[in-house]
Amino acid sequence: MGRLAGKWCLVTGSSRGIGRQIAIGLAREGANVIVHSRSKEHTRGTLSALEKYEVRTDSVEGELSDLAAVERLTRRVLEVHGGVDILYNNAAIQGDRKEIWDTGIDEWKAVIQVNLFSMVLLSTAFARGMKARGYGRIVNLTSGIRDTPQLSPYSVSKAAVNKFTQDLACELRGTGVLVNHLDPGWLKTDMAGPGAELEVETVLPGALVPALLDNGGPTGTGFRAQDYRERS
């Protein structure tokens, strides 16, 4: 049996890329996985990839740019599963590259809604149940991006992710719920493009480290998936 046998996990944006790799890694550890995408139709590839691990799976849909859709997604998971044990807030958008003074407020709002506000809603909704049960892991994906003002909304949203992670971790300290952020590295995904440094598969096994922590482990801190790539 895997180290996460019987745990229910939700991975946002897990129809492809980093999210799919995290879902596969969790399934390898015996976890049951809820796959998320904008449309359930897009989750089929990941669900198919999980079949060989003989874990339970489910899929949910929800456009994270829409607050009502995030609330519907959350409500469905709570009604069907009673919550989750592990939450990976992976889904994010980058926005278009442009000079910082040419980036309009609507573009800022769009990126921050998906990358920050939806993460806050999902984290706080599921953290309550985790706290009541005395166990939970929330992993918020961040970025090591720096010195790239052409993507300022994205980088600022990820800085806010880190600060929210610290605040939520402080609130939940001593409850058995650990909240950390994870930098997956510069990987060849649809967002980063083929010019990125590493293949997306190298996000494992490092991406699982925050989920595998024992109670009393570090919380409110950051992990870099690529620091662990030689340990697979």
Whole-angstrom distance, CA of residue 175 vs CA of residue 158? 26
Residues 6+ apart with CB under 8 A from 106: none
Please answer whether residues 137 and 85 qualify as being in contact, where contact means their C-beta atoms are separated by less than 8 angstroms: yes
HSE-up (13 A, CA, CB side) for residue 86: 31
- Residue identified by tokens 């998936």 is 225
- Residue identified by tokens 């706290």 is 131
Residues 6+ apart with CB under 8 A from 115: 92, 93, 154, 157, 158, 160, 161
Please answer whether residues 161 and 140 qualify as being in contact, where contact means their C-beta atoms are separated by less than 8 angstroms: yes
Catalytic site residue from 53, 88, 135, 154: 154
Q: Is 154 a catalytic residue?
A: yes
Q: Tell me which residue of 117, 136, 116, 124 sits closest to 219, measured CA to CA.
A: 136
Please answer whether residues 36 and 62 qualify as being in contact, where contact means their C-beta atoms are separated by less than 8 angstroms: yes
Q: Tell me which residue of 197, 201, 212, 207 sits closest to 228, measured CA to CA.
A: 207
What are the residue numbers of the active site? Answer: 154
